[in-house]
Structure 1
Amino acid sequence: MRILIIEDEVIIARFIEKQLQNSYGFETAIALSIDEVELLVPTFQPHLILCDIELNDRMNGIALMHQLKKRHNFELIFITSYQSMQMINRAFELEPANYIIKPLDEGRLYAGILPTVKQMQEKLSLRIEEANPIIKHLSTNEVAILKLIANRKTTKEIASLLHLSPYTVKNYRHKICRKLNLEEENNALLSWSLKNYHLLSEG
């Protein structure tokens, strides 16, 4: 599971990241500004975003999440020092999974995130079961290529790592696109492999 932490105070961001890694071992990324968020989200494709509301940037966390929700699918937890009912009501218009009040400590953070993580893991298990027929149609080399694509390796790099010719890798890419019913666009396989990396790991 990939979790993105959006927090403009680096000490708090690092604290949250450390607790997540210690408690769950999930893949994490930190964005300290809106510019970093806009660069990270399309490539990192988080399953869960932990977002501070007051970002001291060109928009606050609520406005930012409204924009991201239009283009991306993820679960959301707000982490903030705001405690007013008005602010909480505005935040919950986005249907976040939870709302954690600062100051943070290990117990508060864990209790605020655990129910969401449990629910997401259950949904993920169901998705893996449903996707098994798709993954089973992929050969060992095709799964290996998709994993490398998810790690942003080029065709030439994949060929070198798998001891294949670049021409063979290109053929594999075409076959994978057909099997997954994807258009053969530049980012189609990258987007699919990032979104479904957990399925590849099970395959």
Structure 2
Amino acid sequence: MVRVLIIEDEIIIARFIEQQLLSSFPCTTRIAVSVKEAREAMHELTPHLLLCDINLQDNQSGIALVTELRQQYSFEVIYITSYQNRSIIEQASATNPANYILKPVDEAQLFAGVQLVMNKISQTAAVGEKLVNPAALFNTTERSILQLIRDQKTTKEIAQALFLSPYTIKNHRHNICRKLQLEEGNNALLKWVMQYSHLL
């Protein structure tokens, strides 16, 4: 079941969006009408998808809020907004949204915009999770190894860079995989590193 957080300060619009989602998709929803409520909901719900207004009548825009939340959580975002000017769209695109829907939004627009993202969510395991904080999870050597993996270094090259044996590096990689609950085959660790390289 996909968890959706609707961040919209106009409750009538928020309720309309919620009603359309619940009638069209297998999902659970929650509405946040302020930045404060959105932060609380993220912690409690860890949503897969945010439908976020840009102008929140708050001390922070929807774009700034999404940028902040991306430091801690993995999610997809669709902006639903009346902003059509180029600079706002460029700012929004910097947060890598899954879609950008212009208000006033109707049932067909909303369904089309969300359907594409729902397919993507079902194929991405990490969406809807709190992000790992490497500083808390890994020791200094493990963080160095992850950074070198990010730089596409082989086990042998990592061993040379850190003045350790390849066997020791393999042990460290095994421990890192165990901490992340990753399978050791299929380049799972490399995929994780590339997905969360901004955290390293």
Residue 34 of structure 1 corresponds to: 35
In structure 1, distance between residues paired with 2:179 and 2:84: 47
- The alignment partner of 1:70 has SS state of coil
Residue 15 of structure 2 corresponds to: 14
Letter in structure 1 aligned against 2:92: A
Structure 2: tracts of 5 or more residues without a match: 126-177, 181-200
In structure 2, distance between residues paired with 1:30 and 1:53: 15
In structure 2, distance between residues paired with 1:95 and 1:123: 15
Deviation at 1:123, TM superposition (A): 3.0
Label 1:181 to 1:93 Cα distance change in 2 as closer, same or farther (>3 A). Answer: closer
In structure 2, distance between residues paired with 1:45 and 1:119: 17
Residue 73 of structure 2 corresponds to: 72
Letter in structure 2 aligned against 1:111: A
Residue 100 of structure 1 corresponds to: 101
Letter in structure 2 aligned against 1:85: R
Letter in structure 2 aligned against 1:67: E
Structure 1: tracts of 5 or more residues without a match: 125-179, 183-203
In structure 2, distance between residues paired with 1:83 and 1:181: 44
Residue 111 of structure 1 corresponds to: 112
- The alignment partner of 2:74 has SS state of coil
Count the aligned residue pairs: 127
- 1:37-66: CA deviation from partner (whole Å, max 9, x where unpaired): 111111110011010000000111011111
In structure 1, distance between residues paired with 2:109 and 2:179: 44
- The alignment partner of 1:123 has SS state of coil
Residue 161 of structure 1 corresponds to: none
Percent of aligned positions with the same letter in both sequences?
A: 46
Which TM-score applies when normalising by structure 2? 0.61
Runs of 4+ in structure 1 off by over 2 angstroms are none
- 1:76-99: CA deviation from partner (whole Å, max 9, x where unpaired): 111100011111011000000010
Letter in structure 2 aligned against 1:46: P
- The alignment partner of 1:114 has SS state of helix
Which TM-score applies when normalising by structure 1? 0.60
- The alignment partner of 2:124 has SS state of helix
In structure 1, distance between residues paired with 2:43 and 2:120: 24
- The alignment partner of 2:44 has SS state of helix
Deviation at 1:121, TM superposition (A): 1.5
